[in-house]
């Protein structure tokens, strides 16, 4: 995928990513901090994945989706942070046009799958709490795999649509991106041609691809809340809410940061806040998810202890 030349200008063949900080003296501190965050995120999500694989109690639909979410979290942070760390080491801040669009595609692909998986997890909680008698048939292994496959297909279509659309824009002037990875808002501002159709596409597709899953999540949890409030046992209510609380926390962080990032395209100038939101999307979310899901879950905590100690049952 190559940039289009223009009659009245030179096509941009590479972009300059300014990164998080422009002061060279702070680069070593940023490198150490984000390397640590990357290792913690990958280690935490791999631990969750290992715990799910080796603990028979966790061989349920909810943890099947959580295992897939852990793989996605590793992918999301790997698409952005290692490249940033490499630029800090080499002091080279340029990124080729094709590499920039490739990063954009994979980032939106993984985030899109993340979005649909969170919806599948909400549907799983709805069936488990509101339809317990038919749960095992409605959430069979076949259904689980179909939900994951559909999530990947929808996210692939979304990522490919935006990548192809951005490739039709002309970049012939400024090529400096005040961010640490390539994303749509920053590229829109650098385009020499009109981005109105691209922004409308982002809002339209975003409404369908993100708004619909969010509506399904909210609907599922309205039914879950009504069912839980009908439970007479205080202990039963507490257990039901604890299984949903972690997921709701992750959903709130995911959609909150996403809405802030992509609903501000009309801003004349992207600010430091956008970098902070970028850190949330690419680093904080993947790093916090294992902590959130294991914090109040004794089954996950027990499995993690066995994984760490190297003593788990093969039964």
DSSP one-letter string for 217-239: HHHHHHHHHHHHHT---HHHHHH
Q: How confident is the prediction along the chain (315 residues), in pLDDT tens digits per residue?
A: 555 554 444 478 899 998 888 888 888 999 999 999 999 999 999 988 988 888 888 889 989 999 999 999 999 999 999 999 999 998 888 999 999 999 999 999 999 999 999 999 999 999 998 898 899 999 999 999 999 999 999 999 999 999 999 999 988 878 888 888 998 888 888 888 888 888 888 888 888 888 888 899 999 989 988 888 877 777 767 776 777 888 888 888 888 877 777 665 555 455 567 788 888 888 988 998 888 887 667 778 777 777 777 654 444
Q: Say if CB 212 and CB 190 are below 8 A apart.
A: no
Annotate 149-203 with DSSP letters as a single string: HHHHHHHHHHHHHHHHHHHTS---S--EESSSS--HHHHHHH-SS--HHHHHHHH
Q: Say if CB 191 and CB 171 are below 8 A apart.
A: yes
Strand ranges across the sheet with 176-177 = 94-96, 14-17, 176-177
In sequence order, which ranges of 55-134 are alpha helices (DSSP H)?
Answer: 61-90, 97-130
Percent of the chain that is helix, strand, coil (3-state, to 5): 75, 5, 20
Q: What is the pLDDT of residue 68?
A: 94
* Residue 6 DSSP symbol: B
Q: Is 303 helix (H, G, I), strand (E, B) or coil?
A: helix
- Round to whole Å and give the CA distance between 213 and 200: 19
- Round to whole Å and give the CA distance between 308 and 64: 20
Q: Say if CB 274 and CB 20 are below 8 A apart.
A: no
- Round to whole Å and give the CA distance between 244 and 19: 37
Q: What is the pLDDT of residue 274?
A: 74
Q: What is the pLDDT of residue 308?
A: 72
Q: Say if CB 21 and CB 30 are below 8 A apart.
A: yes
Instruction: Please count the CA atoms within 13 angstroms of the CA of 235 that sit on its side-chain side.
Output: 0
Q: Say if CB 283 and CB 257 are below 8 A apart.
A: no
Q: Write b or e for each residue in 1-39: b if 16 or more Cβ atoms lie within 10 A of its Cβ, otherwise e.
A: eebeeeeeeeebebbebebbeeeeeebeebbeebeebbe
Per the document, the length of the chain is 315
CA angle, corner 79, sides to 73 and 83, nearest 5?
A: 135
Verdict on whether the full-model pTM lies above 0.85? yes
- Round to whole Å and give the CA distance between 284 and 37: 8
Mutual orientation of helices 97-130 and 212-229 as an angle, nearest 10°? 20
Number of neighbouring beta carbons within 10 Å of residue 144: 18
- Round to whole Å and give the CA distance between 49 and 106: 21
């Amino acid at each position: 995928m190559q940039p289009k030349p223009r009659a009245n200008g030179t096509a941009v063949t590479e972009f300059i990513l300014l990164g998080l900080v422009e002061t060279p003296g702070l680069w070593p501190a940023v490198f150490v901090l984000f390397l640590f965050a990357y290792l913690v995120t990958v280690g935490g999500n791999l631990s969750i994945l290992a715990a799910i694989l080796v603990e028979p109690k966790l061989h349920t639909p909810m943890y099947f989706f959580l295992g897939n979410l852990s793989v996605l979290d590793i992918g999301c942070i790997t698409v952005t942070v290692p490249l940033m760390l490499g630029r800090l080491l080499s002091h080279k801040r340029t990124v080729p046009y094709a590499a920039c669009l490739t990063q954009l595609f994979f980032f939106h692909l993984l985030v899109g799958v993340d979005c649909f998986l969170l919806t599948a997890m909400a549907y799983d909680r709805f069936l488990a709490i509101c339809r317990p008698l038919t749960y095992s048939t409605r959430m069979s292994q076949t259904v689980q795999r179909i939900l994951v496959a559909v999530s990947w297909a929808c996210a692939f279509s979304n990522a490919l649509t935006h990548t192809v659309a951005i490739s039709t824009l002309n970049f012939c002037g400024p090529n400096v991106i005040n961010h640490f990875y390539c994303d749509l808002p920053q590229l829109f501002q650098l385009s020499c041609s009109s981005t109105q159709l691209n922004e409308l596409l982002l809002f339209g597709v975003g409404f369908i691809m993100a708004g619909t899953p969010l509506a399904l999540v909210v609907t599922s949890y309205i039914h879950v809340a009504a069912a839980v409030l009908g439970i007479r046992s205080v202990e039963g209510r507490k257990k039901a809410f604890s299984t949903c609380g972690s997921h709701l926390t992750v959903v709130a962080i995911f959609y909150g940061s996403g809405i802030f990032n992509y609903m501000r395209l009309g801003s004349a100038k992207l600010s430091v806040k956008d970098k902070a939101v970028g850190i949330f999307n690419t680093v904080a979310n993947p790093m916090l998810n294992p902590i959130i899901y294991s914090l109040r879950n004794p089954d996950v905590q027990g499995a993690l202890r066995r994984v760490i100690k190297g003593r788990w049952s093969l039964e």
